[in-house]
Amino acid sequence: MLTPFDIWSTVIRAPFSGDVTQEITPSFLSPEIKGSPAIEERVVREVASYGTQLGKVLEALQALSAATDTPLPEIDALVEQVEAVKADATEALRAEAEAALKRLKAVDEDGWREVKGG
């Protein structure tokens, strides 16, 4: 039996009723962006994500730390935490891909062979 809520639940979302995500890329008219939003958007779209840009800054700080024999434990800890998250995400992605390949093989073995490369 359908209720009115069932019909409207795909249109109206109550707070915390669905996926909770936050986009961190700048939007063109965002008040948080200083300078030129158009330039910021192009840099992120065409050159490098914020993560890549920050990664380069962290690499440079670690290189300077090593070259000047100046310890930067907070930077080192941050880099380790980022690497741990990347490793965890890579592991999860690999498991997802393996599961998808297993499902593909079950329904389309020829397609599975094609995707596997042989």
Task: Answer yes or no: do 85 and 55 share one domain.
Answer: no
Residues near 60 by beta carbon (within 8 Å), at least 6 away in sequence: none
Q: Is residue 1 part of a domain?
A: no
Q: Is residue 45 part of a domain?
A: yes
Q: What is the pLDDT of residues 39-98, one digit of tens each?
A: 888 998 999 999 999 999 999 999 999 999 999 999 999 999 999 999 999 999 999 999
Task: Answer yes or no: do 76 and 111 share one domain.
Answer: yes
Give me the number of domains the chain comprises.
2
Residue 95 structure tokens: 């498991």
Return the CA Rg of the chain.
23
**pTM of the predicted protein model:** 0.58
Task: Answer yes or no: do 83 and 66 share one domain.
Answer: no
- Tell me the residue range of the domain where 43 lies: 26-70
Residues near 82 by beta carbon (within 8 Å), at least 6 away in sequence: 55, 58
Task: Answer yes or no: do 79 and 57 share one domain.
Answer: no
Q: Is residue 21 part of a domain?
A: no
Contact present, 38 and 52 (Cβ < 8 Å): no
Task: Answer yes or no: do 81 and 93 share one domain.
Answer: yes
Residue written as token pair 């158009």: 38
